Amino acid sequence: MEIQKVNIYSPKELITHDPLLMKGMKEALGRIAKAVNEREKIVIYGYYDVDSITAISLLMLVLKYLNADVEYFVSSSIDDKFDINSEEVKDYIKLLGTKLIVTVGCGINSTSQVELCKKLDIDVIITDYHKCKGNLPYTYILDPNQGNCNYPFKGLSAVGVAFKVSQAISMYYQMRYISKYLDLVTLGTVFHGTNLFGENKIMVDEGLLHFNCTNNYGLKALLKVYNIDDIDVFNVYNLAKNIISSIKCKRTVDNARIAVELFTTSSMDRAEQIAKYLKNETLGNGNILYKNFFKY
Protein backbone atom coordinates (compact mmCIF):
# COMPACT_ATOMS: atom_id res chain seq x y z
CA MET A 1 0.00 0.00 0.00
CA GLU A 2 1.51 3.29 -1.11
CA ILE A 3 0.87 6.31 1.05
CA GLN A 4 1.48 9.67 -0.59
CA LYS A 5 3.14 12.06 1.84
CA VAL A 6 2.46 15.41 0.24
CA ASN A 7 1.82 18.83 1.67
CA ILE A 8 -1.93 18.53 2.08
CA TYR A 9 -2.18 20.19 5.49
CA SER A 10 -2.14 23.79 6.58
CA PRO A 11 1.15 25.02 8.14
CA LYS A 12 -0.37 24.70 11.62
CA GLU A 13 -1.16 21.03 11.10
CA LEU A 14 2.35 20.22 9.93
CA ILE A 15 3.59 20.40 13.51
CA THR A 16 1.18 17.71 14.70
CA HIS A 17 2.50 14.17 14.83
CA ASP A 18 2.52 11.87 11.82
CA PRO A 19 -0.56 9.60 12.16
CA LEU A 20 1.48 6.67 10.85
CA LEU A 21 3.49 6.75 14.08
CA MET A 22 0.47 5.28 15.88
CA LYS A 23 0.78 1.55 16.36
CA GLY A 24 -1.51 -0.34 13.98
CA MET A 25 -2.29 2.65 11.74
CA LYS A 26 -0.87 1.19 8.52
CA GLU A 27 -2.76 -2.07 9.00
CA ALA A 28 -6.01 -0.30 9.88
CA LEU A 29 -5.60 2.06 6.94
CA GLY A 30 -5.17 -0.88 4.60
CA ARG A 31 -8.37 -2.48 5.89
CA ILE A 32 -10.32 0.79 5.54
CA ALA A 33 -9.02 1.28 1.99
CA LYS A 34 -10.12 -2.25 1.07
CA ALA A 35 -13.61 -1.58 2.45
CA VAL A 36 -13.86 1.74 0.60
CA ASN A 37 -12.55 0.42 -2.70
CA GLU A 38 -14.68 -2.75 -2.67
CA ARG A 39 -17.80 -0.98 -1.37
CA GLU A 40 -18.03 -3.14 1.73
CA LYS A 41 -20.53 -2.06 4.39
CA ILE A 42 -18.76 -0.05 7.10
CA VAL A 43 -20.40 0.82 10.42
CA ILE A 44 -18.98 3.51 12.72
CA TYR A 45 -19.79 2.43 16.30
CA GLY A 46 -19.91 4.94 19.15
CA TYR A 47 -22.00 6.23 22.03
CA TYR A 48 -23.99 9.23 23.18
CA ASP A 49 -21.28 11.66 24.23
CA VAL A 50 -20.23 14.82 22.39
CA ASP A 51 -16.69 13.46 21.99
CA SER A 52 -17.99 10.25 20.41
CA ILE A 53 -20.71 11.99 18.40
CA THR A 54 -18.18 14.35 16.80
CA ALA A 55 -15.85 11.38 16.12
CA ILE A 56 -18.68 9.48 14.42
CA SER A 57 -19.60 12.56 12.38
CA LEU A 58 -16.00 13.21 11.34
CA LEU A 59 -15.43 9.68 10.03
CA MET A 60 -18.84 9.65 8.36
CA LEU A 61 -18.02 12.85 6.45
CA VAL A 62 -14.57 11.65 5.40
CA LEU A 63 -15.78 8.22 4.27
CA LYS A 64 -18.85 9.61 2.51
CA TYR A 65 -16.55 11.96 0.61
CA LEU A 66 -14.81 8.83 -0.68
CA ASN A 67 -18.20 7.37 -1.66
CA ALA A 68 -17.86 4.58 0.92
CA ASP A 69 -20.86 2.46 1.90
CA VAL A 70 -20.93 3.70 5.49
CA GLU A 71 -23.48 3.97 8.29
CA TYR A 72 -23.19 4.61 12.01
CA PHE A 73 -24.56 3.09 15.19
CA VAL A 74 -24.99 4.87 18.52
CA SER A 75 -24.98 2.30 21.29
CA SER A 76 -27.66 2.48 23.98
CA SER A 77 -25.69 0.43 26.49
CA ILE A 78 -22.20 1.90 26.85
CA ASP A 79 -21.14 1.63 30.50
CA ASP A 80 -17.98 2.56 32.38
CA LYS A 81 -16.17 -0.30 30.61
CA PHE A 82 -16.86 1.23 27.18
CA ASP A 83 -17.34 -2.21 25.64
CA ILE A 84 -18.97 -3.16 22.35
CA ASN A 85 -22.42 -4.63 22.96
CA SER A 86 -22.72 -8.19 21.62
CA GLU A 87 -26.50 -8.11 21.31
CA GLU A 88 -26.38 -4.96 19.22
CA VAL A 89 -23.88 -6.63 16.91
CA LYS A 90 -26.03 -9.75 16.49
CA ASP A 91 -29.45 -8.05 16.37
CA TYR A 92 -28.69 -5.00 14.26
CA ILE A 93 -25.20 -4.52 12.87
CA LYS A 94 -24.87 -8.01 11.38
CA LEU A 95 -28.25 -7.64 9.65
CA LEU A 96 -26.96 -4.61 7.73
CA GLY A 97 -24.51 -6.85 5.91
CA THR A 98 -21.63 -5.20 7.76
CA LYS A 99 -18.09 -6.25 6.87
CA LEU A 100 -16.19 -3.70 8.94
CA ILE A 101 -16.90 -1.99 12.27
CA VAL A 102 -14.84 1.03 13.29
CA THR A 103 -15.32 1.97 16.93
CA VAL A 104 -14.75 5.48 18.27
CA GLY A 105 -13.71 5.88 21.89
CA CYS A 106 -14.71 2.37 22.93
CA GLY A 107 -13.94 -1.33 22.55
CA ILE A 108 -10.32 -1.50 23.70
CA ASN A 109 -11.18 -4.24 26.22
CA SER A 110 -13.96 -5.94 24.23
CA THR A 111 -12.07 -9.18 23.61
CA SER A 112 -15.05 -11.54 23.57
CA GLN A 113 -17.10 -9.13 21.45
CA VAL A 114 -14.37 -8.90 18.81
CA GLU A 115 -14.19 -12.70 18.74
CA LEU A 116 -17.95 -12.76 18.15
CA CYS A 117 -17.54 -10.35 15.24
CA LYS A 118 -14.88 -12.61 13.73
CA LYS A 119 -17.31 -15.53 13.87
CA LEU A 120 -19.87 -13.34 12.09
CA ASP A 121 -17.29 -12.48 9.39
CA ILE A 122 -17.02 -8.87 10.54
CA ASP A 123 -13.62 -7.21 10.98
CA VAL A 124 -13.27 -4.65 13.77
CA ILE A 125 -10.98 -1.64 13.93
CA ILE A 126 -10.76 -0.36 17.50
CA THR A 127 -10.07 3.37 17.81
CA ASP A 128 -9.94 4.29 21.47
CA TYR A 129 -8.00 6.25 24.07
CA HIS A 130 -8.85 4.30 27.26
CA LYS A 131 -6.23 2.20 29.04
CA CYS A 132 -6.19 -1.40 27.88
CA LYS A 133 -6.01 -4.43 30.17
CA GLY A 134 -3.57 -7.21 29.38
CA ASN A 135 -2.64 -8.52 25.95
CA LEU A 136 -4.95 -7.69 23.07
CA PRO A 137 -5.54 -10.36 20.42
CA TYR A 138 -7.19 -7.95 17.96
CA THR A 139 -5.85 -7.41 14.46
CA TYR A 140 -6.59 -3.68 14.22
CA ILE A 141 -6.10 -1.39 17.23
CA LEU A 142 -5.53 2.37 17.24
CA ASP A 143 -4.99 3.62 20.78
CA PRO A 144 -2.04 5.81 21.79
CA ASN A 145 -2.30 4.31 25.29
CA GLN A 146 -1.88 0.68 24.22
CA GLY A 147 1.36 -1.11 25.02
CA ASN A 148 4.36 -0.56 22.74
CA CYS A 149 2.69 2.33 20.93
CA ASN A 150 5.32 4.93 20.07
CA TYR A 151 2.85 7.68 19.25
CA PRO A 152 4.29 10.69 21.16
CA PHE A 153 1.06 12.25 22.44
CA LYS A 154 -1.08 10.16 24.77
CA GLY A 155 -3.81 12.68 25.59
CA LEU A 156 -6.04 12.34 22.51
CA SER A 157 -9.80 11.92 23.01
CA ALA A 158 -12.07 9.82 20.78
CA VAL A 159 -12.41 12.56 18.16
CA GLY A 160 -8.66 13.20 18.33
CA VAL A 161 -7.90 9.59 17.43
CA ALA A 162 -10.58 9.73 14.72
CA PHE A 163 -8.85 12.78 13.27
CA LYS A 164 -5.51 10.94 13.16
CA VAL A 165 -7.29 8.16 11.23
CA SER A 166 -8.74 10.81 8.92
CA GLN A 167 -5.28 12.31 8.37
CA ALA A 168 -3.94 8.88 7.40
CA ILE A 169 -6.88 8.34 5.03
CA SER A 170 -6.30 11.75 3.46
CA MET A 171 -2.63 10.90 2.88
CA TYR A 172 -3.55 7.63 1.15
CA TYR A 173 -6.28 9.14 -1.04
CA GLN A 174 -4.51 12.51 -1.45
CA MET A 175 -7.46 14.39 -0.01
CA ARG A 176 -6.87 18.08 0.52
CA TYR A 177 -8.07 20.44 3.23
CA ILE A 178 -8.57 17.76 5.90
CA SER A 179 -8.00 20.59 8.40
CA LYS A 180 -11.55 21.83 7.76
CA TYR A 181 -12.79 19.07 10.08
CA LEU A 182 -10.87 20.53 13.02
CA ASP A 183 -14.01 22.46 14.01
CA LEU A 184 -15.64 19.12 14.96
CA VAL A 185 -12.40 18.00 16.61
CA THR A 186 -12.42 21.17 18.70
CA LEU A 187 -16.01 20.68 19.84
CA GLY A 188 -15.38 17.09 20.93
CA THR A 189 -11.96 17.71 22.47
CA VAL A 190 -13.04 20.76 24.46
CA PHE A 191 -16.07 18.95 25.88
CA HIS A 192 -13.95 15.94 26.79
CA GLY A 193 -12.59 18.08 29.63
CA THR A 194 -8.89 17.30 29.35
CA ASN A 195 -6.31 20.01 29.88
CA LEU A 196 -5.60 21.48 26.48
CA PHE A 197 -1.90 20.93 26.00
CA GLY A 198 0.37 19.41 23.38
CA GLU A 199 -1.35 18.18 20.24
CA ASN A 200 -4.80 18.87 21.70
CA LYS A 201 -3.96 22.55 22.05
CA ILE A 202 -2.57 22.71 18.52
CA MET A 203 -5.74 21.16 17.08
CA VAL A 204 -8.06 23.31 19.20
CA ASP A 205 -6.23 26.54 18.40
CA GLU A 206 -6.49 25.75 14.69
CA GLY A 207 -10.04 24.47 15.10
CA LEU A 208 -11.20 27.73 16.66
CA LEU A 209 -10.07 29.51 13.49
CA HIS A 210 -12.06 27.04 11.39
CA PHE A 211 -15.09 27.59 13.63
CA ASN A 212 -15.17 31.22 12.52
CA CYS A 213 -15.55 30.23 8.87
CA THR A 214 -16.98 26.73 9.22
CA ASN A 215 -18.68 25.12 6.25
CA ASN A 216 -20.35 22.53 8.48
CA TYR A 217 -24.07 23.32 8.30
CA GLY A 218 -24.69 21.83 11.74
CA LEU A 219 -22.15 24.05 13.46
CA LYS A 220 -23.40 27.06 11.50
CA ALA A 221 -26.94 26.35 12.65
CA LEU A 222 -25.90 25.96 16.30
CA LEU A 223 -24.00 29.23 16.25
CA LYS A 224 -27.04 30.94 14.73
CA VAL A 225 -29.61 29.39 17.08
CA TYR A 226 -27.55 30.19 20.19
CA ASN A 227 -26.58 33.61 18.81
CA ILE A 228 -22.84 33.07 19.22
CA ASP A 229 -20.59 35.51 17.39
CA ASP A 230 -17.47 35.38 19.54
CA ILE A 231 -15.76 32.01 19.03
CA ASP A 232 -13.51 31.10 21.94
CA VAL A 233 -12.84 27.95 23.91
CA PHE A 234 -15.40 28.76 26.62
CA ASN A 235 -18.22 29.43 24.16
CA VAL A 236 -17.37 26.19 22.36
CA TYR A 237 -17.50 24.32 25.69
CA ASN A 238 -20.85 25.86 26.56
CA LEU A 239 -22.15 24.94 23.13
CA ALA A 240 -21.09 21.33 23.67
CA LYS A 241 -22.63 21.36 27.14
CA ASN A 242 -25.93 22.49 25.67
CA ILE A 243 -25.77 19.68 23.12
CA ILE A 244 -25.15 16.98 25.72
CA SER A 245 -27.88 18.45 27.94
CA SER A 246 -30.33 18.12 25.08
CA ILE A 247 -29.28 14.52 24.49
CA LYS A 248 -29.41 13.25 28.06
CA CYS A 249 -33.14 12.88 28.49
CA LYS A 250 -35.60 10.05 27.91
CA ARG A 251 -34.78 10.22 24.19
CA THR A 252 -31.03 9.89 24.79
CA VAL A 253 -30.06 7.60 21.92
CA ASP A 254 -32.54 9.15 19.48
CA ASN A 255 -31.22 12.63 20.23
CA ALA A 256 -27.62 11.45 19.85
CA ARG A 257 -28.48 10.14 16.39
CA ILE A 258 -30.16 13.42 15.58
CA ALA A 259 -26.96 15.21 16.65
CA VAL A 260 -24.93 13.06 14.24
CA GLU A 261 -27.38 13.99 11.50
CA LEU A 262 -26.93 17.64 12.47
CA PHE A 263 -23.17 17.48 11.88
CA THR A 264 -23.37 15.44 8.67
CA THR A 265 -26.36 16.96 6.86
CA SER A 266 -25.85 18.68 3.52
CA SER A 267 -28.96 20.86 4.03
CA MET A 268 -28.83 24.15 5.93
CA ASP A 269 -32.60 24.10 6.39
CA ARG A 270 -32.43 20.64 7.99
CA ALA A 271 -29.51 21.75 10.16
CA GLU A 272 -31.45 24.72 11.53
CA GLN A 273 -34.47 22.52 12.16
CA ILE A 274 -32.36 20.09 14.20
CA ALA A 275 -30.51 22.86 16.05
CA LYS A 276 -33.80 24.43 17.13
CA TYR A 277 -35.11 21.05 18.26
CA LEU A 278 -32.00 20.38 20.36
CA LYS A 279 -32.18 23.87 21.86
CA ASN A 280 -35.76 23.20 22.96
CA GLU A 281 -34.58 19.96 24.56
CA THR A 282 -31.83 21.89 26.34
CA LEU A 283 -34.29 24.43 27.73
CA GLY A 284 -36.32 21.57 29.09
CA ASN A 285 -33.31 20.25 31.00
CA GLY A 286 -31.95 23.59 32.16
CA ASN A 287 -29.31 25.65 30.42
CA ILE A 288 -26.12 26.06 32.49
CA LEU A 289 -23.05 28.05 31.52
CA TYR A 290 -19.67 26.66 32.56
CA LYS A 291 -16.42 28.55 32.89
CA ASN A 292 -12.99 27.64 34.23
CA PHE A 293 -13.92 23.97 33.97
CA PHE A 294 -10.49 23.11 32.59
CA LYS A 295 -7.11 24.70 32.15
CA TYR A 296 -6.27 26.35 28.86
In a domain, 265, yes or no: no
User: Is the pLDDT confidence value at 13 over 50?
Assistant: no
In a domain, 64, yes or no: yes
In a domain, 49, yes or no: yes
Our count of domains for the chain comes to: 1
Supply the range of the domain harboring residue 207: 16-214
Q: CATH number, domain at 52? A: 3.90.1640.30
Q: 33-70 pLDDT, tens per residue?
A: 999 999 999 999 999 999 999 999 999 999 999 999 99
In a domain, 161, yes or no: yes
Provide, rounded to the nearest whole percent, the portion of the chain with pLDDT above 90. 72
What is the residue-averaged pLDDT of the chain?
Answer: 88
In a domain, 3, yes or no: no
Q: How many Å apart are CA 182 and CA 176, to the nearest integer?
A: 13
User: Is the pLDDT confidence value at 251 over 80?
Assistant: no
In a domain, 103, yes or no: yes
Per-residue pLDDT, averaged over 224-253, amounts to 88
Q: Which amino acid is at 115?
A: E
Q: How many Å apart are CA 179 and CA 78, to the nearest integer?
A: 30
Q: Is the Cβ–Cβ distance between 247 and 273 less than 8 Å?
A: no
Question: What is the spatial order of strands in the sheet that 140-142 belongs to?
Answer: 70-74, 41-46, 98-103, 123-127, 140-142
